[in-house]
Structure 1
Amino acid sequence: MNNKIFITGIGTGVGKTIVSACVTEALQADYWKPVQTGLAEGTDTDTVRRLLSNTVTVCHQEAYCLHEPASPHLAARLEKITIDTDFIVQEANRLRPAGRALVMEGAGGLMVPLNEEIFTLDLIGQLQAGVIIVAQNYLGSINHAMLTAKVLKHTGVSVIGWIFGGDEHSNEDDVVRWSGFPKIGRIPQAVQVDKEFIRQQASVLAAPLNALLHDH
Structure 2
Amino acid sequence: MSALIVTGTDTGIGKSVFSAGLTRALGASYWKPVQSGLEEETDSEVVARLAPGCAILPEAYRLHLPASPHRAAAAEGITLDPVRLGIPAHDGPLLIEGAGGLMVPLTPDLLTIDQFAAWQAPVILCARTGLGTINHSLLSLEALRARAIAVIGVVFIGPPEPDSEAIITRLGGTRHLGRLPVLPDLGPDALAEAFTAIDLASIRAALA
Q: Do both share a fold (TM > 0.5)? A: yes
Taking the TM superposition and a 5 Å limit, the aligned residue runs for 1:167-186 are 167-169=159-161, 170-186=163-179
Contact persistence 1:4–1:96 (CA under 8 A): no
CA distance in 2, matches of 1:88, 1:127: 9
CA distance in 2, matches of 1:110, 1:69: 17
Matched, 1:210 2:204: yes
SS of 1:80's equivalent? Answer: coil
Q: Which residue of 2 aligns with 1:75?
A: 72
CA distance in 2, matches of 1:95, 1:164: 30
CA distance in 2, matches of 1:77, 1:9: 24
Q: Which residue of 1 aligns with 2:180?
A: 187
Could you tell me which runs of 5 or more consecutive residues in structure 1 were left unpaired when the two chains were aligned. none
Matched, 1:125 2:124: no
Q: Which residue of 2 aligns with 1:46?
A: 45
Q: 1:113 aligns with which of 94, 100, 105?
A: 105
Which one is further off, 203-212 or 70-79?
A: 203-212
Contact persistence 1:52–1:199 (CA under 8 A): no
Matched, 1:86 2:83: yes
Q: Which residue of 2 aligns with 1:156?
A: 148
Greater relative contact order (Cα 8 A, min sep 6): structure 1 or 2?
1
Matched, 1:61 2:54: no
Q: What TM-score, normalized by structure 1, do the two folds share?
A: 0.91
CA distance in 2, matches of 1:212, 1:180: 16
Q: What TM-score, normalized by structure 2, do the two folds share?
A: 0.94
Between the two proteins, what is the percent identity of the paired residues? 39
Residue 209 (structure 1) shift: 2.1
Could you tell me which runs of 5 or more consecutive residues in structure 2 were left unpaired when the two chains were aligned. none
Matched, 1:146 2:110: no
Q: Which residue of 1 aligns with 2:36?
A: 37
Which deviations, in whole Å up to 9, do the C-alpha atoms of 1:113-161 show, x marking residues without a partner? 0001000001101111110000012222111111101111111101111
Which deviations, in whole Å up to 9, do the C-alpha atoms of 1:183-212 show, x marking residues without a partner? 111111211110102222344433332234
Residue 87 (structure 1) shift: 1.5
Which deviations, in whole Å up to 9, do the C-alpha atoms of 1:66-116 show, x marking residues without a partner? 010100000000000111122111xx1x3332xx21101111111000001
CA distance in 2, matches of 1:143, 1:66: 31
Contact persistence 1:7–1:106 (CA under 8 A): yes
Residue 177 (structure 1) shift: 0.2
Q: 1:197 aligns with which of 190, 201, 204?
A: 190
Q: Aligned-residue CA RMSD in angstroms?
A: 1.4
CA distance in 2, matches of 1:42, 1:26: 22
CA distance in 1, matches of 2:85, 2:195: 27
CA distance in 2, matches of 1:86, 1:59: 20
CA distance in 2, matches of 1:197, 1:48: 14
Contact persistence 2:130–2:158 (CA under 8 A): no
Contact persistence 1:26–1:203 (CA under 8 A): no
Contact persistence 2:18–2:180 (CA under 8 A): yes
